[in-house]
Amino acid sequence: MKVEIEKLDHFGRGITYIDGKVCFVEKALPGEIVKIKIIKDSKKYLLGKVVDYYKLAEDRVEEVCRYSDICGGCNLSHLDFKEENNYKCMKVKEILKKFGNVSSEKILDVVSCNEYGYRNKVTLHGSNSRLGYCESGSNSVFGTESCLLADDKINEVMEVVKKLAYTEQIEELLIRCSNDSSEVMVSLTGKVDDYSELVNLVDTLIINDEVILGDGKIISSISDKKYYVSSKSFFQVNKEVTKLLYDEILNVVKKNKPNKVLDLYCGTGTIGIYVSDYVNKVVGVDYSKSGISDANVNKELNNCSNIEFICDKVENVIDSFDDIDLVIVDPPRAGLDNKTIDNIKRIGADTLIYVSCDPATLGRDLKLLEDEYEVLYVKPFNMFPRTYHIENFVELRRKNNG
């Protein structure tokens, strides 16, 4: 069946219509005329797969990854990088208008850096002597020799561990490197007897949660701040864009000069520590034990005496805070719960910073906050190039309701 692609959906798929029903087509761009076969027909939508291309879009580029046809990771690698950023900006505008009633004029251009080699962490799976990623839409593992999204140091380690997979029984492999690539961590599960080739390549080696080499952590820097990162703790994967995002947060802190900052969903304490030189007090909250453990180590590493970290769910402690000048929230994809939103309003901080990896839940929460807080601006950060994901920074100011 021959169709013309009209636009991209919010997951980077091409959209066309067949007999009035929407059809989503992977690897198809607006303006392209393609031959497709229908691989799924549900009541509400169709899924199509490209069989042949009759007309290509001007912003299509040749995919440079050898695994692009089987791996679902880089689902925008066929789109020119500049157009990827334009698409993500338009996507944020559409979603925040629909769910958050946010004017497009308040959404700035996308901030981005390198399209490849940006990741400081990858997780691979093992199966039948293969080590790699899962095929798109499947749990089947295909062998991966390298990943273009990953730091060169990670790919160097991946090459060695790939050889181990033929003789050992690796179930899962995590490789992490510091932002300057000077330190490397490998954490794996499975049956591994001979890891001698890894010893000279990595600084920390963990097998089945047992630290074999190093102290179980690596040190990663963002600007002049240093952070211990363990295998199970959250740490932003994009080494370049993370600094730009944190600088954006820091600029707002410098501008508003808050006395006391509340850092919700603080993880390893990276943001709170990053702004700590410009405030009198920071309180960070996160439910992750490993994250808070790292946060307390990071506090000592950076000689921060004005930070306190609380290990608990945000909704369990949010009603205990008062006298906060600035609130920072960086929640998981599900966004904020109603109790947290109600208490943010009750606390009434003059400034609210919202960092989000999901525009839809961000828009929902901004709508729930709009009676007390005005959106000053939204700045999208392309934290995950060549994928449809986008990180967003929002500065909100408390309305004068008196």
CA distance linking residue 42 with residue 62, whole number of Å: 32
Which ranges in the chain are annotated with CATH 3.40.50.150? 84-114+238-398
84-114+238-398 is classed CATH 3.40.50.150: yes
Which ranges in the chain are annotated with CATH 2.40.50.1070? 121-221
Which ranges in the chain are annotated with CATH 2.40.50.140? 2-60
CA distance linking residue 299 with residue 305, whole number of Å: 7
310, pLDDT greater than 70 = yes
What does the mean pLDDT of the chain come to? Answer: 94
Rounded percentage of the chain residues whose pLDDT exceeds 90: 83
205, pLDDT greater than 90 = yes
Average pLDDT for residues 10-37, to the nearest whole number?
96
DSSP letter string, 56-122: --TTB-----TTTTTBSS-TTTTB-HHHHHHHHHHHHHHHHHHHH---GGGB-PPB---SSS-BSEE
What is the structure's pLDDT at 2?
A: 95
Average pLDDT for residues 180-192, to the nearest whole number?
92
Average pLDDT for residues 241-247, to the nearest whole number?
98
What is the structure's pLDDT at 167?
A: 67
User: What would the 3-class secondary structure string for 278-295 be?
Assistant: HCCEEEEEECCHHHHHHH
What is the structure's pLDDT at 37?
A: 96
CA distance linking residue 84 with residue 381, whole number of Å: 12
pLDDT digits (tens, 9 = 90+) for 251-266: 999 999 999 999 999 9
Pairing type for strands 14-18 and 7-8 reads antiparallel
Tell me which residue of 334, 323, 220 sits closest to 281, measured CA to CA. Answer: 323
What's the Cα-to-Cα distance from 110 to each of 273, 303, 353, rounded to whole Å? 25, 34, 18
What is the structure's pLDDT at 127?
A: 84
80, pLDDT greater than 90 = yes
What is the structure's pLDDT at 16?
A: 98
Q: How many CB atoms lie within 10 A of CB 69?
A: 10
pLDDT confidence band for 46 (50 / 70 / 90) = very high
Partnered with residue 262 across adjacent β-strands are 283, 327
121-221 CATH choice from 3.90.650.10, 3.20.20.70, 2.40.50.1070, 3.40.50.620: 2.40.50.1070
What is the structure's pLDDT at 186?
A: 95
| Cα angle for residues 368, 267, 292 (degrees, 5° grid) | 130
What is the structure's pLDDT at 298?
A: 96
CA distance linking residue 213 with residue 231, whole number of Å: 13
pLDDT digits (tens, 9 = 90+) for 320-344: 999 999 999 999 999 999 999 999 9
What's the Cα-to-Cα distance from 400 to each of 308, 366, 372, rounded to whole Å? 30, 17, 8
What is the structure's pLDDT at 193?
A: 84
Question: What angle do the packed helices 359-369 and 81-100 form, to 10 degrees?
Answer: 30
pLDDT confidence band for 401 (50 / 70 / 90) = low
Contacts of 244 (CB under 8 A, 6+ apart): 111, 113, 381
DSSP assignment, residue 242?
H
* Domain 2-60: assigned CATH number: 2.40.50.140
pLDDT digits (tens, 9 = 90+) for 142-176: 888 899 999 999 999 998 888 777 667 888 999 99
What is the structure's pLDDT at 72?
A: 78
pLDDT digits (tens, 9 = 90+) for 364-395: 999 999 999 999 999 999 999 999 999 999 99
pLDDT digits (tens, 9 = 90+) for 112-147: 999 999 999 999 998 887 888 988 878 888 888 899
CA distance linking residue 168 with residue 204, whole number of Å: 19
185, pLDDT greater than 90 = yes
Average pLDDT for residues 290-302, to the nearest whole number?
94
Which SS3 state, helix, strand or coil, does residue 245 take? helix
